[in-house]
Structure 1
Amino acid sequence: MHTAILPVGATEQHGPHLVTAVDCITAEKLAHAVSAETGIPVLPTLPYGCSLGHSRRWPGTISLQPQTLIDCVVQIAEWCHAFAFNRFVIINGHVTNFAPLRCALEILRSKFDDMMVAIRNVGEVSQRVRTEFFADAEDWHANAAETSLMLALAPDGVRPERIAVAHDPDRTHGLFFAHPVNRTSRNGVTGHPATASKEHGQQLFAMMVEDLTRQIRAALTEQPPLDESYFAAL
């Protein structure tokens, strides 16, 4: 049995202070850091995701349709499976990729009886990581956590002089419906990036690597609770 890691990001506007590749950078950096600890190979990062909800209000966003993302991930995994990779870990850097990625997971495990697939969102690797990401906004985007990570991992992708004016409050509290970002944010940010720092980013990233590495190491020997074929009827 062999395991592969697929980082999935997005190309999306991240306020006036961050580059459009934030979701790619965080997913890819986390994947390679975990690989360094576990020896698991990392596939090339998928740089486009499902960013339909970010709208076309701000230049820089390029979105795939959900079905396109599903198809891409399924086809990548199919080729990996052909070369004996039957444990597939998807590290997702963009929140709204999750639904298509979950659909891809369902398709893969229904096609291959021996394939196990897991998805980990960078902002929800563990409860303590989730607490950091959600500290300044429930519907966070380009917030303190993401800005801190970029200051630590890719400072060339940050405009420090724009951070102080980039904040925008979370307007989604109490809403029943899901609204696109053009109706919840004035600048593509939700949260308070002015509180970000390189030191916080370093601490947060170390936390993410430690927690995900521990999970994946344990998963390398995981077996299904029951040894029953998907295709065998009673």
Structure 2
Amino acid sequence: MMKWSDLTWEELPSALAACGQAAMLPVGATEQHGPHLGCGVDSVIAEELCRTVSARTGVPMLPTLPYGCSLGHSRRWPGTIALPPVLLIELVKQIGDWAYHSGVRRLFIVNAHVTNAAPLRCALEMLRAEHDDLMVAVINTATLSERVREFHSADAADWHANDAETSIMLAIAPEGVRPDRLKDADDPDRTCGCVFAHPVNRTSLNGVTGKPSIASRDKGDTWFNWLADDLAALLESGCRENPPLDHSWYSRV
């Protein structure tokens, strides 16, 4: 594993050179996850996934960003600490700027919280507009491959704290799971057919969408391995990728 925070300034250039000047930024959230999961689920998954993939690929991982755009979880349940979208955009933009000046030219933003996706895409647009030779990818963990997408939404299309997240937490961080609360934690997906994107306090009775009662560590082990395998493959491909054209600056002769 290659943690950015463990490397000295003398070691960082060679670490980046060995992997195509690449780095990962894990992004999670701090928000309620029903009565059975701790509030750090998204950050725990993002960090453990990047830690595992860093060990396989040699791509350094920046410190995990533990706060995200969780406004949709409302203030109904304690535990959510949310950033507004514009602040998340600017925060990731600043992180990307400083990573660039440290030598990063391939930045993989690994996002484990669904509603971070739009602000992170905006940060991507700003970074690549400012740094012509910086390649940026936003990778949303729940949709990084077809098999990963399928298991996340198997018990609820608008899933949250469901079988997938609970099983993965049982596998990688069981201390964040309350097994005695699983039996009664299920809550159905009420968003089917909705035109509007309703906040969670208008779609869930307890902050859950899905069936955590059917979660198991065995499923979590399998599913986490799929996540790690598919993310590692994506990074290995990205570390070899170059832009289709060498330069995009327009100059008038």
State the aligned residue count.
233
Letter in 2 for 1:227: D
Kindly state the Cα deviation for residue 227 of structure 1 after the two structures are TM-superposed: 2.2
Q: Deviations over 1:116-141 (max 9, x none)?
A: 01111121121100000010001000
Kindly state the Cα deviation for residue 233 of structure 1 after the two structures are TM-superposed: 5.2
Q: Which residue of 1 aligns with 2:130?
A: 111
Q: Which residue of 1 aligns with 2:58?
A: 39
Extract unaligned runs of 5+ from structure 1.
none
Distance in 1 separating the partners of 2:78 and 2:237: 42
Q: Which residue of 2 aligns with 1:59?
A: 78
**SS state of the match for residue 105, structure 2?**
strand
The TM-score with structure 1 as length reference comes to 0.98
Q: Which residue of 1 aligns with 2:16?
A: none
Letter in 1 for 2:213: A
Q: Which residue of 1 aligns with 2:244?
A: 225
Distance in 2 separating the partners of 1:162 and 1:120: 31
Deviant stretches of 4+, over 2 Å: none
Kindly state the Cα deviation for residue 188 of structure 1 after the two structures are TM-superposed: 0.3
Q: Deviations over 1:34-80 (max 9, x none)?
A: 10110010111001000000110000001001011011111011111
152, 167, 184: which one aligns with 2:203 = 184
Q: Which residue of 1 aligns with 2:180?
A: 161
Q: Which residue of 1 aligns with 2:25?
A: 6
Q: Which residue of 1 aligns with 2:152?
A: 133
Q: Deviations over 1:99-123 (max 9, x none)?
A: 0000000000000000001111121
Asked whether the equivalents of residues 26 and 122 of structure 1 are also in contact (C-alpha less than 8 Å), the reply is no
What's the % identity of the aligned pairs?
58
Q: Does 1:25 align with 2:44?
A: yes
Q: Does 1:97 align with 2:119?
A: no
**SS state of the match for residue 81, structure 1?**
helix
Asked whether the equivalents of residues 152 and 202 of structure 1 are also in contact (C-alpha less than 8 Å), the reply is yes
Distance in 2 separating the partners of 1:218 and 1:94: 23
Write out aligned runs for 1:169-208 (5 A). 169-208=188-227
Q: Does 1:86 align with 2:105?
A: yes
**SS state of the match for residue 222, structure 2?**
helix
**SS state of the match for residue 155, structure 2?**
coil
Distance in 2 separating the partners of 1:221 and 1:93: 24
Distance in 2 separating the partners of 1:232 and 1:33: 41
Kindly state the Cα deviation for residue 228 of structure 1 after the two structures are TM-superposed: 3.1
Q: Which residue of 2 aligns with 1:76?
A: 95
Kindly state the Cα deviation for residue 24 of structure 1 after the two structures are TM-superposed: 0.2
162, 171, 188: which one aligns with 1:143 = 162
Asked whether the equivalents of residues 7 and 31 of structure 1 are also in contact (C-alpha less than 8 Å), the reply is yes
**Residues 158, 232 of structure 1: alpha-carbon distance in 2 compared, 3 angstrom cutoff:** same
**SS state of the match for residue 85, structure 1?**
coil
Distance in 1 separating the partners of 2:68 and 2:102: 25
Distance in 2 separating the partners of 1:22 and 1:5: 19
Letter in 2 for 1:141: H
Asked whether the equivalents of residues 2 and 86 of structure 1 are also in contact (C-alpha less than 8 Å), the reply is yes
Letter in 1 for 2:214: T
Q: Deviations over 1:143-189 (max 9, x none)?
A: 00000000000000000000111100000000111100000000000
Q: Which residue of 1 aligns with 2:9?
A: none
Distance in 1 separating the partners of 2:65 and 2:159: 22
